[in-house]
Structure 1
Amino acid sequence: MSHPLASYAAVIRPVVDRLHVAVRHASRAEVRALYAARGLVPGVEIDLFAALLDHPVPETALAARVVYTGFDPEATQAQGLVELVDGCWRLTGPGRELVSAVDEVLGAAAERCWSYRPSPSLPGLAAVEAALPLVERLLEAGQASGGPVFRALTPVWERPGASAAARLAVRLEALRHHRADAHRAAWAAAGLTAAEIQALGPGPQREAIEAETNRLDAPVYEALDAEERLVLLGSLGALPDGFQVPA
């Protein structure tokens, strides 16, 4: 049976993803420079930074998080940024220093992207202020409806004095894991492996898995009423992403 908010979950997903990708894209050069200055390359710690700055992450959660790409635990630890202790990944001293700097870069990128107002009709950072408390409520509600990765990667760390844009950026990243857990559960229930779902093309089976993903993701949005859901969708949709159409 479908969920009444399944269609909302389907519609808001690409809106959230667009903003996440926009912040990562806008900060990419600066983040790579931070790593290059230390003779390092970005690893799993950059995908978990907001959680790792707050708490250790169980290795089972990280394994699920990277199920599509995989990773080498020994090579990961060899960079000296994270370590596996008692079944959990945690930051080392140098790792905490580096990802704290990454957090500042990402927050500044979000502020730049979302404050841009090429037209006075666009809300700019006012949209951030409208969306932030709603996303915070979704993260709280997700503790009941979310899967293992979402629960392992929340709560997220908040830098003292962080701007509303920086706070929204890390919370949107965390919210994405609610749907990611739903998607992993949907294709696993269909009897597929990670490789098989990645290779699966359009068709009835793909549509069924996406519909199940929407159904499993939808309950988190029950935390908002109909008007709040509209405000959230409109606010996030109004935020610019900084992408340019190639000439």
Structure 2
Amino acid sequence: MNEAVELGPHRFAGLAAPAVDRAVAAGMRAARDGGGAELCQRYGGPAATSFLVEFRTRLAAPGGAVDGPGFAALTRHRDPATCQRALDKQVAHGMIHRRPDGGLSATERGATFLAELHHLHGEVTGELWAGHEDRVLRLVAALGRLLAYALVLAEENGATEGTAFAALAPPHEPDGTPPGVLLLNRLDTLRHQRADAYAASWAAAGHTAPSVAALSPGPERQAIELETDRRAAGPYTVLTAEERLIMLADLAALPG
């Protein structure tokens, strides 16, 4: 019980991050290997669908759009010119509509692709996490509380625009969304809250996206990681120490 009490929000944020990344990677890998690659090819391949897959939690919503500042935040570690060329290709494939504000939304064809992807994610996550239904439901409930509180904090801090989290949260969850899809998309959305915390941390340390990517392991990088944990910890205060420990154990036990 002492260990649970000591698992404070900032420490939990650091421990949870790799577990969240692992679960999201497992779900996306299962989708790719379980028919996702073929689905993408039917619509033109990655050159036509990559941003739709990446931003599905917002673009699948009726009228859902990622604005220009949100797109910049989501792609902050990539070359802007390369991202614009990729976006041009997806517009040319008729999958994405480029908005006057520099943002993007799904075309009718893009929305059809996202509906098929949603169905596929339901199938593959059901298979991937079969036998762990109770664990999945526990995680879905905890993540719902975390994301709701993260949105409250974003509102209080004036961070409702120009961040990766604001661009994609809350995830689109139509009625009947399978638990595995809820889990995958809520975890993926939560990852962007930490990405924003990381960006704020390296910017405060005087870095740019390219310079922090080139930073070697050592005290400076460690300081940025610790500051990221501190900045990312806010939503986890909505959980008790025991609930944080249970969430960490559930994430660790998920297959994949």
* 1:91-130 aligned within 5 A: 91-115=106-130, 117=131, 124-130=132-138
Separation in 2, partners of 1:129, 1:104:
19
Residue matched to 2:19: 15
Residue matched to 2:71: 62
Separation in 1, partners of 2:120, 2:78:
25
Residue matched to 1:50: 57
Question: Structure 2, unaligned stretches of length 5 or more?
Answer: 1-6
Residue matched to 2:141: 133
Residue matched to 1:156: 171
Matched, 1:179 2:194: yes
CA contact (8 A) 2:44 2:93 kept: no
Question: Structure 1, unaligned stretches of length 5 or more?
Answer: 118-123, 242-247
Separation in 2, partners of 1:23, 1:112:
10
Identity %: 31
Instruction: Identify which of 216, 221, 226 aligns with 2:241.
Output: 226
Separation in 1, partners of 2:22, 2:170:
22
TM norm structure 2 = 0.85
Query: Aligned-pair distance for 1:7?
Result: 0.9
Residue matched to 2:151: 143
TM norm structure 1 = 0.88
Count of paired positions: 232
Query: Aligned-pair distance for 1:229?
Result: 1.2
Runs of 4+ aligned structure 1 residues displaced above 4 Å come to: none
* 1:29-48 aligned within 5 A: 29=33, 30-41=35-46, 42-48=49-55
Which protein is richer in helix relative to its size?
A: 2
Deviates more, 1:212-221 or 1:56-65: 56-65
CA contact (8 A) 1:40 1:79 kept: no
Q: Secondary structure at the match of 1:83?
A: strand
RMSD: 1.7
Residues 81-113 of structure 1, C-alpha deviation per residue, up to 9 Å, x if partnerless? 111223231110000000121122122221111
Instruction: Identify which of 93, 97, 110 aligns with 1:79.
Output: 93
Separation in 1, partners of 2:136, 2:220:
37
Deviates more, 1:33-42 or 1:10-19: 33-42
Query: Aligned-pair distance for 1:190?
Result: 1.2
Query: Aligned-pair distance for 1:63?
Result: 1.2
